[in-house]
Amino acid sequence: MLSRLILKGFKSIREVDLPLLSFNVLIGANGAGKSNLMAFFRMLQALTQRELQLHFARLGGADSFLHYGRKETAVLSANLYFGSNSYSFDLEPTVDNKFIFFKEFMQFQEDAPINLGCSHAESLVPTSPHGDNLVITIADCAVYHFHDTSDTANIKRLQAINDNVKLRHDAGNLAAFLYKLKKTSPKHYELILKTIRQVAPFFGDFYLRPFPENPHKIQLEWTEKGSDYPFIANDLSDGTLRFMCLVTLLLQPEMPKVILIDEPELGLHPYAISVLAGLFRVASQRCQLIVSTQSLNLLDEFEASDVIVVVRENGQSVFRRLEEEKLRSWLEEYSLGELWEKNVIGGIPTR
């Protein structure tokens, strides 16, 4: 589990020291900085794949990542604590708007920190003889956002049938992933179907088969209860399709160590949001969850101690975890969502 994150100089985050629990819910106004925290974890994915420079180049270069650019911020630094193990790095911008490592360290248990050197463009953890487990741990911090349900979304296109090792960040391989799951973990597959039917009673089953014209491909198809006629993903509402993605993610047999989900409530009915909250509770016993939401209904399902309020103060993002004891008298009369709406706990736009 990621027990603590110290992050400095990253986008709107000037400096944050954030203890994390098994379940964490981020709330806040648009632009407060919730998505920037998610963006940091996407950057970590590129780091473990030694594609950091490509990641920066695609998204505007070093100045786009530094807090108010290099004139304001000279270094982007991070410390990640996984219990008694840790990983830290400092990145400095170059004249050609790239980053190089000014320092990079990893530490295991009580052993002395391992200095990986400086002036390299890509992380040396993946190539270090001691870095295998750390790479696996960091790579297992996975960010998901199932917002794209357009006609051209990956989830609605033909997929490689062998792209089934893990669910992709946009569920673009959902059909291939479910096809494997049905064969290898039928109990989990049936639980996924049962949970989807709670919200979509008309749903019968997924119709999973190699694509007739190309057996190396597969397409997301499904049937209604009592019928064997196959429908395609375009025949599902956006909310139902997103719910299918979320259920598959949260009920799969082998979970990522850390799951980050950005705005899971998009397009969901209030009842579906209630079911989703229950799935979060169960999943947080198997992995660590960091969820960003704008939904009052979803917030109402959680405890105050689960919630981290993100606000923008003096040009920077500030993260504050709610304290149950301080809100006890309020919570006797109001729900968390109502307290958010009334600005008792913060997290709404301020002038």
Categorise residue 68: left if φ over 0, alpha if ψ from -120 to 50, beta otherwise.
left
Residue 10 counted as domain residue: yes
Q: How many whole angstroms from its chain centre is CA 88?
A: 21
Token code pair at residue 138 = 């960091």
Categorise residue 267: left if φ over 0, alpha if ψ from -120 to 50, beta otherwise.
left
Q: What is the C-alpha radius of gyration for the chain, rounded to an integer number of angstroms? A: 21
Determine the average pLDDT of the residues in 212-234.
Answer: 97
Q: What is the pLDDT of residues 251-288, one digit of tens each?
A: 999 999 999 999 999 999 999 999 999 999 999 999 99
Say yes or no to pLDDT of 130 above 90. no
Instruction: Band the pLDDT of 2: cuts 50, 70, 90.
Output: very high
Residue 265 counted as domain residue: no
Domain count, the chain: 1
Residue 349: predicted pLDDT: 81
Mean pLDDT estimate for the chain: 96
Residue 156 counted as domain residue: no
Say yes or no to pLDDT of 21 above 90. yes
Q: Which residue has the tokens 């960003």?
A: 292
Angle at 153 between CA 147 and CA 159, to 5 degrees: 125
Instruction: Band the pLDDT of 129: cuts 50, 70, 90.
Output: confident
Q: What is the pLDDT of residues 300-328, one digit of tens each?
A: 999 999 999 999 999 999 999 999 999 99
Selection from 122, 114, 177, 121 nearest residue 144 by Cα: 177
Determine the average pLDDT of the residues in 45-55.
Answer: 96
Longest dimension (CA), the chain: 64
* Burial grade of 186 (CB within 10 A; 0-12, 13-18, 19 or more): exposed
Determine the average pLDDT of the residues in 159-163.
Answer: 98
Please enumerate in sequence order all residues whose Cβ is within 8 A of that of 97, keeping only pairs 6 or more positions apart, or say none: 61, 62, 63
**Ramachandran angles phi, psi of 144, nearest 5°:** -125, 140
Residue 118 counted as domain residue: yes
Residue 36 counted as domain residue: yes
CA distance 324 to 339: 13
Instruction: Band the pLDDT of 291: cuts 50, 70, 90.
Output: very high
Residue 351: predicted pLDDT: 63
Residue 226 counted as domain residue: no
Residue 93 counted as domain residue: yes
Determine the average pLDDT of the residues in 198-210.
Answer: 98
**Above pLDDT 70, what percent of the chain?**
99
Domain that holds residue 10: 1-21+29-139+307-351
Say yes or no to pLDDT of 348 above 90. no
| CA dist 312 → 147, 212, 307, 315, 317 (Å) | 25, 53, 16, 6, 5
Say yes or no to pLDDT of 350 above 90. no
Q: Are 213 and 150 in contact (CB under 8 A)?
A: no
Q: What is the CATH number of the domain that holds 71?
A: 3.40.50
Residue 65 counted as domain residue: yes
Q: What is the pLDDT of residues 51-96, one digit of tens each?
A: 999 999 999 999 999 999 999 999 999 999 999 999 999 999 999 9
Q: What is the pLDDT of residues 163-198, one digit of tens each?
A: 999 999 999 999 999 999 999 999 999 999 999 999
Q: Are 312 and 11 in contact (CB under 8 A)?
A: no
Token code pair at residue 143 = 């960010």
Determine the average pLDDT of the residues in 19-46.
Answer: 97
- What is the three-class DSSP state of 129? coil
